Amino acid sequence: MVLQKTLKKESKRRVSPLIAQKSVHGFIGWASRQVGAIPVGRAQDSAKPATGTIYLPDPVGDPTLVRGIGTKFDEEGEVSGMVFLPSVKGQTGASVDIAEIIGPEELRLKRPFSGKTAVWQLTGRSDIDDKGALTDQGVKGCPDGFKGTNFKLAAHIDQSKVYHAVFNRFKHGGCVGIFPEGGSHDRTRLLPLKAGVAIMALGTLAENPDCGLKIVPCGLNYFHAHKFRSRAVIEFGAPFEVPSELVHMYQTGRRRDAIGQLLDMVQTRLAAVTVSTADYDTLMLIQAARRLYISQAAKRPLGIVIEANRRLALGYEKYKDDPRVKEVKESVKKYNSQLMYFNLRDHQVQHARLGWFKVLFLLISRSLQLLFLLALTIPGLVLFAPVFIMTKTYSRKKAAEALAASTVKIEGRDVMATWKILVAMVVAPLLYNVYAVSMAFFLKSDRCASFVPAATPWLAIYLGGWAVFPGLSYIAFRVGEVGMDIFKSLRPLFLCLFPSSNYSVQKLREQRTAVQQQVNGLIDELGPEMFEDWEATRLVKPSSPSSPTRPRADSEQSSTPFEADTASPPHPLRRSSTVASRSMPRNESFSNIGRIGMFSTTTEPPSRSRSRSSSSGGGFGMAGFPVSGFTSLDTAEGLSEATRKIHEAMQKRGEIRRRQSKTANDFRRAEDDESGDEDGSHDDEKQKKNS
């Protein structure tokens, strides 16, 4: 919904998203038709548990031959259908198409199963390397006593109607939204992309090469998506066109190669607008390192936070075997474990530097504030409690069902978030309607006649209830958020009152300083190795001790997302996340996407409170996030314009550096003359130099 609204408002484009066929019923079906969604049947949605178990009788000599124990392939399966293996320890279950059904207990696959987990499930052998290959080629079969693995079978899905609908939409200048992973999940990295996005693009261009089709990568980066009123960052990468060589390959029978190369391009572009890590622990490590590197004293817009996470994830993936990285990793883990032990947040440790009397005063004053805010919050929370209870209960139930039926989900948090929204959209209006009717009936009763004039119509009281009760709920939410921030700040204040606890917090603060120095030193050391233009594109500029200007205070630092010198560009530069994407234009402002061929930007929602982001860093076009125009490189004129601007920027930067260098040399010569000419015989010359 956020993506649809964003694109419609900013780019004036109505996007027709692809939606799973199984979801097109009831309210979801009606809503999908209103936005022009295109239903797509998926094999995993029709997969059903099959009878018996399967194994590979000859994984070395014939890995595509599958044999079953008590199976009914001829009744339950079909050619071009799919075989699904169960997920193991959070890893996605593998799937392969069926090429031939030989009998009720034997079939042949179009390609062998790949991956260590899948081969182990089908063979039960331990001599499997990380790529899924068997190391002992002399052993042909499975170990004695191996009974195979459970599996699912899915019927063949004919997608020709879907492709025809997409091609027809493109022919009429439409825009289609595709989730190329094929389904939602709550993993920390992209799943392997499905071929549909490549087939749709190549098929459209094969029929109409001059239609001007472009692909725009979009990243949805969430912060606790399953929690109420959490935040998200929508990031659009630069639009790119499908190379004509791939279209020619697709037309001349080399479809597999063309589809594979285009999928690689899409994967590269998506990696530039998303944060991907191997697992949840690595993501937590990355975020902890980012908090230490980018000080909380200087608040950053969410777009900068996402970019910092992305760069750190790329750096960790590249240097994770480096001893220096391993050492810093252990230090960050120990610091995080200490935070969990004291139940503190990183920013609370950083700012817990107050005197005993001030701590006591803050503890008492904030406790009183919390009691006052609690009194304001209770009415709205009580009124809205049925919605909270029902959304939480029903969403957990749906998440458990989706988790049992999926091979890619870990905790089903994506389903939980969806059903919280859907249930609230139905339950909240019904609840407010009950409240409004009850209020009208109560106020019109004889007992309240003295408070409400008898001439007041029922409809006016009913409509007044619709204004009062949602308003109370909204006030409770907003006040509750402030109260929660105050509540979280009480624990470190309470700890600072006791000498033993205060000593522990002090030691934790010293540990944080040491770990922060480690993280900053490592990033400053490895950054230039990973990014050639490190000094120009780094997110945080180091403070120069020899700079003639005074250092800025924390309040000044939070007014801009970069601590850049006068030679730095006035807007943030984002380094492409992969080598293949470095030729892509920089992401530009959110407000510009309606004025170019498609759109390219980074955006974020407004801040909820001062405790979550700075007031200046949350909006675009403000001092916290300056914006600039977008230059199109589709034509020779656009390329010439970009080249001219680059040359002008380089000349300007060179002039600034020469002036700074000349000023520094003049100061050094003046100091040398002043120390060497004690007799005062060169006062005139020194005065000229100093001036």
Tally of CB atoms within 10 A around 659: 12
What gap in Å lies between CA 318 and CA 28, rounded to an integer? 43
Going by C-alpha positions, the residue among 627, 607, 608 that lies closest to residue 617 is 607
What gap in Å lies between CA 514 and CA 154, rounded to an integer? 55
Long-range contacts, 573-577 (Cβ 8 Å, 24+)? 573/536, 573/537, 574/307, 574/537, 574/602, 575/307, 575/311, 575/531, 575/533, 575/537, 576/272, 577/271, 577/272, 577/310, 577/311, 577/314
Those residues of the chain that have pLDDT short of 50 are 544-635, 667-668, 670-691
What gap in Å lies between CA 356 and CA 378, rounded to an integer? 32
121 bridge partner residues:
none
Tally of CB atoms within 10 A around 288: 20
**Tokens encoding 691:** 């001036």
Amino acid identity of residue 357, one-letter, is F
Q: 469 near 461, Cβ under 8 Å?
A: no
In eight-state DSSP terms, residue 295 is -
Q: Is 152 helix (H, G, I), strand (E, B) or coil?
A: strand
DSSP character string of 655-687: HHHHHHHHHHHHHHHHHHHHHH-TT-TTHHHHH
Strands 82-84 and 152-154: antiparallel
At residue 336, φ and ψ (nearest 5 deg) are -65, -40
Cα first-last separation, the chain: 63
- The predicted pLDDT at position 216 comes to 93
Tally of CB atoms within 10 A around 568: 18
242 alpha-carbon distance from chain centroid: 26
- The predicted pLDDT at position 178 comes to 92
Q: What is the 3-state secondary structure (H, E, C) of 422-443?
A: HHHHHHHHHHHHHHHHHHHHHH
Question: What is the model's pTM?
Answer: 0.62
- The predicted pLDDT at position 641 comes to 60
Tally of residues, the chain = 691
Residue given tokens 């014939």 in the structure block: 62
100 bridge partner residues:
108
What gap in Å lies between CA 498 and CA 496, rounded to an integer? 6
- The predicted pLDDT at position 191 comes to 83
At residue 71, φ and ψ (nearest 5 deg) are -90, 165
**Tokens encoding 293:** 């590197």
What gap in Å lies between CA 464 and CA 442, rounded to an integer? 13
Strands 38-40 and 15-20: parallel
- The predicted pLDDT at position 653 comes to 65
Going by C-alpha positions, the residue among 155, 160, 114 that lies closest to residue 134 is 114
- The predicted pLDDT at position 429 comes to 93
pLDDT, one tens digit per residue, over 391-449 is 999 999 988 888 877 767 778 888 888 899 889 999 999 999 999 998 888 887 765 55
Strands 601-602 and 231-236: antiparallel
What gap in Å lies between CA 573 and CA 226, rounded to an integer? 31
What gap in Å lies between CA 618 and CA 152, rounded to an integer? 48
